[in-house]
Every structure is written in structure tokens, then in C-alpha cells.
Amino acid sequence: MLEPEESSGGVLVYRYAADGEFAGDDWYLSIEDAQAATRQEFGGNLGEWQDYAGSDLNGAIAHALAAARTA
């Protein structure tokens, strides 16, 4: 799962493994740059970016895993 965090200086994209463990982060100038770079890196393994309405990380990971299973 990728979790972007936008700020005035750019976008930090946090990466989480399927088990929910932190797997790293990357910084980009814009959300568009982040999307382009992750599409290039993950290719067909990356679905469309989706907003998650919840506020907790575990819920977001569960949501992402459920979406991946139905894709």
C-alpha cells in the first residue's frame, strides 16, 4: 500500500507491505510526479490511486488488501 502525504514542499509517499509493516518512503515534487514514478516502478501491479475515508492506518491497509483481492 502507498500512502501519500502532501505538504507545501512536495509529497512524501509511505510504503507498507502486505502485512502492514512499514517498507520505506519516497519524496516527490508533486502528486503527479509520485503517481508517474510509482506507475513506472510497479507497472501493472499498481491499481488506481484511491482515497480512503477512514483515519487509521490499519483500516487503510485492510481496505487496500481487500481492493487488491477483488481486482
pLDDT of residue 71: 64
5-60 confidence digits (pLDDT tens): 888 899 999 988 878 889 999 999 999 999 999 999 988 777 777 777 666 777 88
pLDDT of residue 29: 96
Which residues, in sequence order, are bridge partners of residue 3? 14
3-state secondary structure the chain: CEEEEEECCEEEEEEECCCCCEEEEEEECCHHHHHHHHHHHHHHHCCCCCCCCCCCHHHHHHHHHHHHHHC
pLDDT of residue 3: 86
